[in-house]
Structure 1
Amino acid sequence: MVRGKTLAFVGDSVARNHMESLLCLLSQEETPVDVFKDSEDRFRTWYFRRHEFTLKILWSKFLVMAKEEVINGSSTGTFSLNLNEVDGEWAREVSTVDIAVVSSAHWFFRKLYLYEQKSLVGCVYCNEPNVTSYGPEHAVRMSFRAALDHINGCSRRTTTLLRTFSPAHFENGTWDTGGACARTGPYEEGEIDLGGSEWGFRKVQMEEMERAKVVGRERGKRFGAVDVTRAMLMRPDGHPGEHWGNKWMRGYNDCVHWCLPGPIDVWNDFLMAALRLEGGMNS
């Protein structure tokens, strides 16, 4: 299906998690060559010589341009987003790929200032006079809109797949207040909430994908979804939790990323199905 092609995952560390799952699965068939790693180990490229297939991760927290506020040399965790300008680091690369898998969401759960044409138009998680307050769903919507519009504007006929929101499963607190994910089995169908915020993020993403698909159809572009949200809502047992081994952040649980091997591997079954459906590719 991907012989002679380049596939790139565009997004944050969960996008990288997805890419690593695919890398592990494909490595059972052929050992890839590690072609490129940047100084921060965020942009990576592997090449499968026998299949002439290139696999990349293009790192981006928000998909659009973002700048973190720094006070007295210390990071604040507050970002300003330019909703009219995509992050050039991935945007320059995406015009060279045949298949792009675009995703992001977890970085939007923080204080954000939203700009359009250099003018402040709103903010997330703030209560400031004369500034419109939005939920993180709005910031996600506008960031995905900018990203998909950029891809639609590229001359290359890239097949673009939007990977929907991947839920976290913190219980008894958030990541920095003692939250954990110690369950050892999946939820039953009736135990998941399809009316929660996770489903709201998926709805926003799917709407933006459908919008891009309408525009792209006239330009010979293909858009589709790798829809993982419902399946992953059921898997609170699939996260590293306290066993993630991060030497810089001891004492915190990772209930956002997914174990390898683990439930995340099914995302690549969904990916293959989406490529056949939207990419016109056959095995």
Structure 2
Amino acid sequence: MKVGSLHGLRGKRLLLILVVICTLFLIWEWEKTPHPVNFIPSPDTTYLPPPVAHKTHTCEHATTEEEDFPVADDFWHAMSEREKQPFGVPSKGHKTTSSLKVTEVKKDVIVVAPLGKKVAGPSRYSMTEKAEQVLNVPPKDSAATSSVNTTEVDKNLKATSLEKKECNYGKGKWIDDDRRPLYSGFGCKQWLSMMWACRLTTRTDFSYEKYRWQPEGCEIQEFEGTEFLKRMQDKTIAFVGDSLGRQQFQSLMCMVTGGRENPEVEDVGIEFGFSKGDKRPSGWAYRFPKTRTTILYYWSSTLCELEPLNLSDPATGYAMHLDRPAAFLKQNLHRFDVLVLNTGHHWNRGKLIANRWEFYVGGVPNTNRRLREMGRAKNLTIHTVIKWLDSQLPQHPKLKAFLRSISPRHFFHGEWNTGGSCDNTSPLAHGYEVLQDASADFVAAAAVSGTRVKLLDITALSHLRDEGHISRYGFKASEGVHDCLHWCLPGIPDTWNEILAAQI
């Protein structure tokens, strides 16, 4: 019995020693490999929840493009779950982000707020506890982040940023600049449509003119019209798109002339098939004789080819070829040195009905039920046009092509035809800075990804400037109808052109 007891005691001691040795070995391995770094985010990590598209509304017919203020179709909800996955979007089972929208960024983390609710704060949105949970941000008193050594992660992030030589012009902040605006809102009558010249309206506050955009980590050279024309000597700059594209075109004309009358500038619209006698011209083109620089705009609100179904019938419908670029682009691409495309706000059922557009794919009426959804139809056209343009660029090595991201709308408390308004006149009331790297227009960003077409990213920076819209001061405004889609000029589109000049 004594021998048996002694043997059992020795066995227990040996087992205990083995447990201690294994424990020490595991602790040593854990300290050698800092696994928590792989799971706890670095303070520099940026999170991007899925953007939420505008609501779908129907527009009434209008005789001119500028008289109504259509809303972009709900292209986000039109996308299937599979189509959303490349954007890093959670599946339907992920309920936490479905009621949130991207509004602003703070401390290198995108800030979100409940849809339809503003978050208090004089210059930025503040992050709610719910938002922090959605983004998996550790609480302030969490010991997890303080106990993790993120030095290596930070080094890798900094190394990556140093390797990225191309400036992200969509990331930065708005700052005061008393040298603005770049031209007079009273004087640029030769190029600027009266309906967009807010200085000629009853508006009395023009503080929105006194700001300029400062990208993070890079400079935008001060725009000087004469110098720009010299840079663009013997070149043609073409804007093709909707009325927001026309605003950018008129803005550039005012910028290069300083808003002054210039009788020497030649109207060369006839060279591009533009007729002066049309009630609604399809475009405008002007040439500066000293530098032979041509700046033009062509109206193509959807960028796809529109073909009359019956030439002999004035009230004919139009085949809207979703898989064909606008004929104007095909016919004149070889003449352009800079091309800026834009589309977005005309993709809604109201426009489809008012303009008698009918979806065509492969040269025949569309029979694909999925493509009857406006969002998918728009995405097909954007991707088709960009893919075609990218295929043409090797034949035109001097051509610099851009897709401008969508210009944001700022209707509050309703839509343009249901009492929606944008009465704010205080600049940057909802924020002044954009910190996220990713574009707020994920559709445009995805379309140009992997192509030679560049993104002119203006969505997030323009979103902060709701005070810059025409609002209720438009000449054509009806009682209770606000224009919270188009911008006052001088104004935000001038910044788009400053960024364009820098990217050129």
Bin the TM-score by the shorter chain.
Answer: 0.7 to 0.9
What's the offset of the Cα at 1:177? Answer: 1.7
Equivalent of 1:47, from 268, 287, 299? Answer: 287
Amino acid of the structure 2 residue aligned with 1:7: I
Name 1:250's counterpart in structure 2: 478
CA distance in 2, matches of 1:143, 1:25: 32
How does the TM-score come out when normalised to structure 2? Answer: 0.44
Q: Is 1:33 matched with 2:262?
A: no
CA distance in 1, matches of 2:485, 2:267: 26
What SS does the aligned partner of 2:339 have? strand
Contact 1:108 1:136 in 2 (8 A): yes
Name 1:87's counterpart in structure 2: 326
**1:1-283 superposed matches below 5 A:** 1-28=231-258, 31=262, 32-36=265-269, 37-38=274-275, 39=278, 40-66=280-306, 81-110=320-349, 114-117=359-362, 118-122=364-368, 131-132=369-370, 136-154=374-392, 155-157=395-397, 158-185=399-426, 186-189=428-431, 199=440, 202-213=441-452, 223-246=453-476, 250-251=478-479, 252-275=481-504
What's the offset of the Cα at 1:33? Answer: 2.6
Give the ranges of 4+ consecutive aligned residues of structure 1 lying more than 6 Å apart after TM superposition: none
CA distance in 1, matches of 2:432, 2:235: 41
CA distance in 2, matches of 1:120, 1:134: 8
Contact 1:238 1:262 in 2 (8 A): yes
Classify 1:188/1:137 alpha carbon distance in 2 versus 1 (closer, same or farther; 3 Å): same
Amino acid of the structure 1 residue aligned with 2:379: R
What's the offset of the Cα at 1:4? Answer: 1.2
What's the offset of the Cα at 1:134? Answer: 6.5
CA distance in 2, matches of 1:242, 1:3: 40
> What percentage of residue pairs aligned between the two structures are identical?
24
Which fold has the larger relative contact order, with Cα–Cα distance below 8 Å and residues 6 or more apart in sequence?
2
What's the offset of the Cα at 1:68? Answer: 9.4
What SS does the aligned partner of 1:25 have? helix
Amino acid of the structure 1 residue aligned with 2:266: V
CA distance in 2, matches of 1:240, 1:132: 36
Amino acid of the structure 1 residue aligned with 2:471: G
Contact 2:235 2:294 in 1 (8 A): yes
What's the offset of the Cα at 1:203? Answer: 0.6
What's the offset of the Cα at 1:243? Answer: 1.6
Contact 1:47 1:54 in 2 (8 A): yes
Classify 1:245/1:141 alpha carbon distance in 2 versus 1 (closer, same or farther; 3 Å): same
Contact 1:225 1:274 in 2 (8 A): no
Structure with greater proportional strand content: 1
Contact 1:63 1:104 in 2 (8 A): yes
CA distance in 1, matches of 2:307, 2:414: 28
Amino acid of the structure 1 residue aligned with 2:325: V
What's the offset of the Cα at 1:191? Answer: 10
CA distance in 2, matches of 1:211, 1:83: 21
Structure 2 unaligned runs (5+)?
1-230, 353-357
CA distance in 2, matches of 1:41, 1:253: 25
How does the TM-score come out when normalised to structure 1? Answer: 0.76
What's the offset of the Cα at 1:119? Answer: 4.5
Q: CA RMSD in A?
A: 3.2
